[in-house]
């Protein structure tokens, strides 16, 4: 029998001992996490581990201290750390994969993240094919939120995932809304038209509602955008009707006047949801209708 270890009593079962070791290692790491060598040692130990019980849970690493340590790294040090994040995505071990993805997410919040993540865009895009929704949504976040601007390589990956028949409607809606934001910012009228054509083709409430909110938020009032708003007022799904009314609220007085009759119909429809009626009434009151 090995000698007693006061920090790790042998009365504990092995999985509990290894979990305690992992927790103490994380605490020590976070005290020195701005040291690249310490971070590299930590992620290498995860890759070399044969037992998931001996490594920390992804949740235990999602701390402000860890995020602060990643933001404190120099661009060169952050770049040196990302190959280990990439390696974590490879083994068929969900916990290790989540830790690797979380490292990418942490780097993705840095103000210079686009240059750091650019070499890994295709690898991140491949995560869109993973079976679990959390991984796919995190990949979407990384592709759209890189700062100060997303990689040009991300656009075709996002568009392809949005258009794929097997893509979850909510994910397609997230991408459609983001594309509308990006395209309007670039004054890309053709791109806006293309995205709205996709939205109308899919005709899914999750996609329609997200697109409508984007039209209002980013002040997109093209003819096909206003056509989608008009269709939204008549949609049987209350999420879409609510988003259409909100879009009109944000698109300015001319658009409010154009949809005054539709707003009146919703405001006085007894079968309409109370909150949607109240939004319509508020818009009409602001417009003097």
| Domain ranges across the chain | 1-110, 168-289
Q: Residue 71 — very low, low, confident or very high, per pLDDT cuts 50/70/90?
A: confident
Torsions phi, psi of 149, nearest 5? Answer: -155, 150
Report the candidate in 261, 252, 264, 195 with the shortest Cα–Cα distance to residue 228: 195
Please give the average per-residue pLDDT across 26-46, as a whole number.
Answer: 72
Torsions phi, psi of 155, nearest 5? Answer: -60, -50
Share of the chain above pLDDT 70, in %: 88
User: Does residue 214 have a pLDDT over 90?
Assistant: yes
Please give the average per-residue pLDDT across 22-37, as a whole number.
Answer: 53
Report the CATH number of the 168-289 domain: 1.20.930
The pLDDT assigned to 289 comes to 60
The pLDDT assigned to 34 comes to 53
Q: How far is CA 263 from the centre of its chain?
A: 33
Share of the chain above pLDDT 90, in %: 73
Other CB atoms within 10 Å distance of the CB of residue 287: 15
User: Does residue 224 have a pLDDT over 80?
Assistant: yes
Q: Residue 9 — very low, low, confident or very high, per pLDDT cuts 50/70/90?
A: very low
Report the candidate in 94, 93, 148, 103 with the shortest Cα–Cα distance to residue 124: 103
The pLDDT assigned to 17 comes to 37
Distance, in Å, from the CA atom of 193 to the CA atom of 55, rounded to the nearest integer, reads 48
């Amino acid at each position: 029998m090995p000698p007693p270890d006061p920090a790790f009593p042998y009365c504990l079962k092995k999985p509990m001992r290894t979990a305690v070791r992992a927790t103490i290692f994380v605490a020590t790491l976070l005290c020195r996490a701005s040291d690249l060598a310490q971070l590299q040692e930590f992620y290498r130990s995860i890759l070399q581990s044969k037992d998931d019980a001996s490594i920390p849970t992804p949740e235990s690493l999602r701390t402000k201290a860890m995020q602060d340590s990643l933001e404190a790294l120099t661009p060169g040090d952050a770049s040196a750390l990302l190959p280990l994040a990439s390696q974590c995505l490879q083994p068929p071990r969900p916990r290790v994969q989540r830790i690797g993805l979380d490292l990418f997410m942490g780097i993705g919040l840095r103000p210079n993240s686009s240059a750091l993540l650019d070499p890994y865009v295709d690898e991140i895009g491949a995560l869109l094919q993973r079976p679990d929704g959390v991984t796919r949504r995190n990949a979407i976040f990384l592709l759209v939120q890189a700062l100060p601007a997303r990689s040009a390589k991300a656009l075709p990956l996002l568009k392809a995932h949005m258009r794929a028949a097997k893509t979850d409607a909510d994910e397609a809606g997230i991408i459609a809304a983001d594309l509308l934001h990006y395209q309007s910012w670039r004054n890309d009228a053709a791109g806006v038209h293309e995205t709205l054509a996709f939205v109308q083709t899919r005709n899914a409430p999750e996609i329609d509602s997200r697109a409508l909110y984007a039209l209002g938020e980013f002040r997109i009032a093209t003819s096909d955008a206003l056509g989608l708003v008009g269709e939204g007022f008549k949609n049987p799904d209350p999420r879409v009707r609510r988003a259409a009314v909100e879009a009109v609220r944000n698109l300015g007085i001319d658009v409010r006047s154009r949809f005054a009759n539709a707003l009146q119909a919703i405001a006085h429809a007894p079968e309409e949801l109370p909150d949607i009626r109240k939004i319509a009434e508020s818009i009409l009151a602001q417009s003097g209708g």
